[in-house]
Structure 1
Amino acid sequence: MPKNEEVPLAPSSTRVTPLRPAAVPLQQSGKQALQAAQLAEVEWLVQQGSLSTFRTFQSFGYSASLMFYPRELIYYAVLYHEGAVWRVLKAGDIDAAEPAFRHFVEQAMRLADAEMRRAHLEAQNEQFSRLIAESEAQIERVRVDLHRGGEQDQEVALKQQEVRKALAQLDGRRVPAQTQLNKLQRQRHQLDATINESVPHLPPIR
């Protein structure tokens, strides 16, 4: 090897730091703009207080929410049943999340329709039961009044019958009594006339 020939130096080794896995942003357009999310994912974020509620809807035991995760710029459309997370869709932009939220609202309204009808029918049946009870009570009061009125009618009829009987008896006694009275009055007049005939006629004193 010639002395003047330089030996090439070996390249110094470079230390490479591995990159941490970064959050992959959701697609901003196309079918992949809206993705299904795990229920536990949203439940954990809610427990941590990391989500901001943009919109919410509730009807009976069904509700829907549109929430935003500021740290990752992710929107969540969530459907609840009786307060528990039921369905979750997520998107990286509001334009994709809004239709998902409206879809959940329509689903909640459709599911709550039966609850609405049941509540209305229950209230209507309660009203019918109350009106039936009031009508039965009113009918019973009328029956009592009729019964009491009938008893009074019977009492009045008996009283009138007794009065008519008494009148007939009194009238029956009145006729012979009147005849006897007339006879006695004639006898008295005759006696008075006889007595008056025995009275002397005296001249008046002058």
Structure 2
Amino acid sequence: MKSFLNRRSAGLSDGASHVVAVELETQHEATPMGSSARLADGGAVIDDGAPADPETLAPSMADTTAPPCPVSTLHAVPAVPAYLSNRPVQVAEGASFEALAAANELTTFRVFRSFDYAVTLLFHGRTLSYFTTLHQDNTLWHALRTTDLESASAAFHHLEEQATRLAEGETRLAQLAAQNAMLTKQIEQSEAQAERLRVDLQRHAEQEHRVSARQHQVRKDVAQLEAQRVAAQAQLNKAHRTIHQLSVASNEGVPHLPGR
């Protein structure tokens, strides 16, 4: 070891350095071959009276390599809500259910309808089974079968919520159609009222025009009659003066008689 250090220091002083691989002294070399001690996992020395096993001293490459992770197998997802997966709810065959319905072997427990969607909870007494169905426009869409009323009720509520969500568009459509019909009616009423007001205004304007023309004619006639009256009054005054003058002239020939 000292000679190696001397060679390394001499090499460093000369210039370029070189990396030299050196075997480390292990506890295998420090431990005598005739000794009864061996190395255990983690470097502990155990005395069992037997020579050390090389396979136990150094772990193999297979031991240090992590085992491969298993690949999960894909399974089909059932058409049942998650909270019903642990209950005995199964998908019923559509043909079997329709055969039971056609034979009038089902008793209706509950019905929910929203527009074209209908959810029913039915009971089959012969097999003590419950059927929960969802119809769209009187056509079977989903059918679930169970022997537990609680599970059937939960399935009914699930399909009821699904039908309600599906009918939201129909609900909005009906509301908008009604609102548009009301707005159309209000527009028609407003336009009719506006037309009546327009007719009234036109009639009022025409009446004002006629009244104005009549007033103008009346003023014209009044002025004309007033002129005629003035002329007649002047003529009458002239006639009165003439009468007075003639009366005075005729009275001049009458002798003056003294009074008694």
TM-score (norm 1): 0.79
Unaligned runs of 5+ in 2: 1-83
Aligned residue number for residue 131 of structure 2: 76
Task: Output one character per residue of 1:64-103: Cα deviation in whole Å (capped at 9) or x when no partner.
Answer: 0111111111110101111111101111111211111110
User: Percentage identity across aligned positions?
Assistant: 45
Paired residue for 2:183, among 95, 120, 128? Answer: 128
Amino acid at match of 2:162: Q
Alignment check: 8 A CA contact 2:87 2:151 kept: no
Q: Output aligned runs, 1:115-194, within 5 Å.
A: 115-194=170-249
Change in Cα spacing, 1:200 to 1:154, as seen in structure 2 (3 Å) is same
Paired residue type of 1:52:
T
Computing the radius of gyration over CA atoms, which structure comes out larger, 1 or 2? 2
SS of 2:127 mapped into structure 1: coil
Gaps of 5+ in 1: 1-28
Q: What are the within-5 Å matches in structure 2 for residues 1-206 of structure 1? A: 31=86, 33-200=88-255
Calculate the aligned-residue CA RMSD, in Å: 1.9
Assess, with a 3 A threshold, how the Cα gap between structure 1 residues 34 and 137 changes in structure 2: closer, same or farther.
Answer: same
1:17 corresponds in structure 2 to none
Q: CA deviation at 1:163?
A: 1.0
Task: Please state how far the C-alpha of 1:30 moved relative to its aligned partner.
Answer: 6.7
* 2:171 match: secondary structure: helix
Structure ranking higher on relative contact order (CA contacts 8 Å, 6+ apart): 1
TM-score (norm 2): 0.64
Q: 1:140 Cα shift?
A: 0.5
Number of residue-to-residue matches in the alignment: 177
Name the SS of the counterpart of 2:167 in structure 1.
helix
Cα drift, residue 31 of structure 1: 2.9
